[in-house]
């Protein structure tokens, strides 16, 4: 069985969408007849070890570390002195830096360091062992994010130095940053397949890709389906059924219409404008409750920080971050509407035909999703909730009034996108078929000789 090195496994993240899409995508790989032999997790790509470029200083650092580690733990003063005074200055003196290239010009020099055994030895061994590399891009390629730079560098190593097939799929690429755009423009043409999950990325990267190695498909999250409502609601209506400590879902009645509200990937980030969304969400939820009861959702840790105070202030049910994926699909898929700046939860809501009202996110992905599903509507500014409140409420109300006709149309489009998700593994299918044909021809030759 062909061995896959699976890059950017986001299942180690608590985020609803990360857990959902990675699980679905890995299932596609396995059902295509491949074995995932090694995995590079998102947590390792976001923050990694640093190294010292100078070999002599590297030896000094190595010996000093071994000396300090040999000191008994009771000598806390020595440990404190090293941590507070020596280490910060040593980092500056030694030039300690990240192991991942910061721009395209560093790719080859860093590749030589990796081949020489100075950096990324775990990743190098995985590349040597595998038959092909599958990179689960998701939303990692934007700004100059380390996770995006790392996946592009792994792709460079795979193609340039190990001659391994490599595909980058199931992803958004926001290439507004010129440094990231330059890296993308070099790496994408090398790859054996590039599959985008939404149309704006495909358009943005149209000058960077080959016609024979790129495609617009859909996110693996579209493969989920909510349970039939009559079956689900009879179980879910039990008081506090979705309460997961310390959050409470008391008051959530799935038998009645309800509106789900989520946060946005733009909030509480050091690389985005600072904004306190809590007062805006309180006002928005008060207004929405004139239409239907509101159920708060926390698909991400930042959403927990935002919605716990909102839930307490308004006594609203809050669906916890640790809610299992399929339960989240059921809740979102049966809502009357879903308001958020979250990509994957919006995908999950659409699988049940739930109309989505989108807020801006950390990239243009929520605008892209509206285009993908054919909803002619604005994406509201998540950093101006007070000003956008009335428009958000009006659009939500209009969607709910459209009723089953709109839900059926959205459900049908989600079904179409669900079929398109399999295009993320088209290269695996084609390669498998080519291998089977070659083996059959080989066997036939030996039989006739």
Residue 376's pLDDT is 95
Task: Give Cα separations from 145 to 93, 130, 179, 180 (angstroms).
Answer: 26, 26, 11, 9
Query: Which sequence spans correspond to the domains of the chain?
Result: 2-48+100-216, 50-98, 225-419
- Judged by DSSP in three states, 193 sits in strand
Strands (E), 213-293: 214-216, 259-264
Question: Which of the following CATH numbers is that of domain 225-419: 3.40.50.2000, 1.10.3720.10, 3.30.420.40, 3.10.105.10?
Answer: 3.40.50.2000
Parallel, antiparallel, or unpaired for β 214-216 and 193-196?
Answer: parallel
> Which residue from 165, 88, 126, 106 is spatially nearest to 8, judged by alpha carbons?
126
Distance (Å, whole) CA 444 – CA 438: 10
- Answer yes or no: same fold for 2-48+100-216 and 225-419: yes
Neighbouring-strand partners of residue 287: none
Task: Give Cα separations from 32 to 28, 245, 428 (angstroms).
Answer: 6, 39, 7
Residue 181's pLDDT is 97
**What spatial distance separates the first Cα and last Cα of the chain, rounded to whole Å?**
27
* 375-383 CB contacts, 8 Å cutoff, 24+ apart: 375/410, 382/264, 382/266, 382/267, 382/275, 382/277, 382/341, 383/266, 383/273, 383/275, 383/277
Distance (Å, whole) CA 281 – CA 297: 12
Determine whether 245 is exposed, middle or buried from the number of CB atoms within 10 Å of its CB (0-12, 13-18, 19+).
exposed
Radius of gyration of the chain (CA): 25
Q: What is the number of alpha carbons within 13 Å of residue 55 lying toward its C-beta?
A: 4
- Judged by DSSP in three states, 24 sits in helix
Residue 9 parent element (H or E): strand 2-9
Residue 68's pLDDT is 46
Determine whether 117 is exposed, middle or buried from the number of CB atoms within 10 Å of its CB (0-12, 13-18, 19+).
exposed
Angle at 154 between CA 149 and CA 160, to 5 degrees: 120
Domain 2-48+100-216 is in which class?
alpha beta
Largest CA distance in the chain: 82
- Judged by DSSP in three states, 262 sits in strand
For 402, residues 6+ apart whose C-beta sits below 8 A from its C-beta are 355
- Judged by DSSP in three states, 168 sits in strand
Distance (Å, whole) CA 42 – CA 21: 13
Task: Give Cα separations from 387 to 276, 283, 338 (angstroms).
Answer: 14, 11, 19
Strands (E), 10-124: 34-41, 50-51, 97-98
Q: Give the pLDDT of the chain (449 residues) as one tens digit per residue.
A: 899 999 999 999 989 999 999 999 999 999 999 999 999 999 999 887 777 776 655 555 554 555 445 555 555 555 555 565 556 665 566 667 889 999 999 999 999 999 999 999 999 999 999 999 999 999 999 999 999 999 999 999 999 999 999 999 999 999 999 999 999 999 999 999 999 999 999 999 999 888 888 999 999 999 999 999 889 988 888 888 899 999 999 999 999 999 999 999 999 988 899 999 999 999 999 999 999 999 999 999 999 999 999 999 999 999 999 999 999 999 999 999 999 999 999 999 999 999 999 999 999 999 999 999 999 999 999 999 999 999 999 999 999 999 999 999 999 999 999 999 999 999 999 987 766 555 555 554 445 55
Neighbouring-strand partners of residue 194: 168, 214
Distance (Å, whole) CA 362 – CA 329: 23
Distance (Å, whole) CA 376 – CA 216: 20
């Amino acid at each position: 069985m062909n061995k896959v090195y699976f890059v950017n496994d986001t299942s180690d993240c608590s985020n609803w969408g990360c857990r959902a899409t990675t699980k679905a995508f890995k299932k596609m790989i396995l059902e295509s007849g491949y074995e995932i032999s090694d995995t590079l997790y998102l947590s390792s790509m976001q923050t990694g070890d640093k190294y010292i470029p100078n070999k002599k200083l590297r030896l000094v650092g190595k010996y000093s570390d071994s000396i300090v580690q040999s000191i008994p733990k009771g000598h806390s003063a020595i440990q404190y002195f090293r941590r507070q005074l020596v280490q910060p200055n040593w980092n500056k003196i030694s030039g300690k830096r990240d192991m991942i290239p910061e721009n395209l010009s560093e790719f080859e020099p860093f590749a030589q360091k990796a081949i020489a055994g100075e950096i990324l030895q775990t990743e190098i061994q995985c590349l040597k062992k595998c038959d092909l590399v599958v990179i689960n891009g998701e939303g990692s390629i934007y700004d100059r994010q380390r996770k995006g730079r790392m996946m592009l560098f792994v792709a460079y190593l795979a193609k340039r130095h190990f001659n391994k097939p490599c595909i980058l799929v199931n992803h958004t690429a926001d290439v507004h940053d010129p440094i990231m755009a330059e890296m993308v423009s070099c790496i994408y043409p090398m790859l054996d397949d590039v599959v985008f999950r939404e149309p704006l990325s495909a358009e943005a990267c149209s000058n960077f890709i080959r016609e024979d190695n790129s495609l617009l498909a859909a996110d693996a999250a579209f493969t989920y389906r909510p349970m039939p409502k009559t079956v689900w609601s009879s179980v879910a209506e039990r008081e506090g059924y979705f309460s997961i400590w310390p959050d409470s879902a008391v008051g959530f009645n799935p038998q009645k219409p309800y509106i789900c509200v989520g946060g946005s990937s733009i909030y509480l980030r050091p690389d985005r404008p600072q904004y306190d969304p809590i007062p805006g969400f309180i006002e928005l939820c008060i207004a929405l409750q004139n239409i239907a009861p509101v159920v708060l959702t926390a698909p991400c840790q930042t959403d927990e920080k935002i919605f716990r105070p909102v839930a307490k202030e308004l006594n609203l049910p809050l669906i916890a971050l640790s809610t299992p994926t399929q339960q989240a699909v059921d809740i979102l898929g049966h809502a009357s509407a879903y308001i958020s700046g979250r990509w994957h939860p919006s995908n999950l809501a659409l699988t049940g035909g739930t109309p989505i009202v989108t807020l801006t996110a950390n990239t243009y992905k929520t605008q892209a999703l509206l285009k993908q599903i054919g909803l002619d509507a604005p994406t509201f500014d998540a950093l101006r909730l007070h000003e956008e409140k009335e428009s958000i409420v009006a659009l939500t109300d209009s969607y709910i009034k459209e009723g089953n006709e709109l839900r059926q149309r959205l459900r049908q489009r989600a079904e179409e996108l669900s079929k398109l998700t399999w295009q993320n593994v088209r290269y695996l299918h084609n390669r498998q078929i080519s291998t089977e044909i070659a083996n059959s021809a080989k066997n036939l030759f030996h039989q006739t000789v």
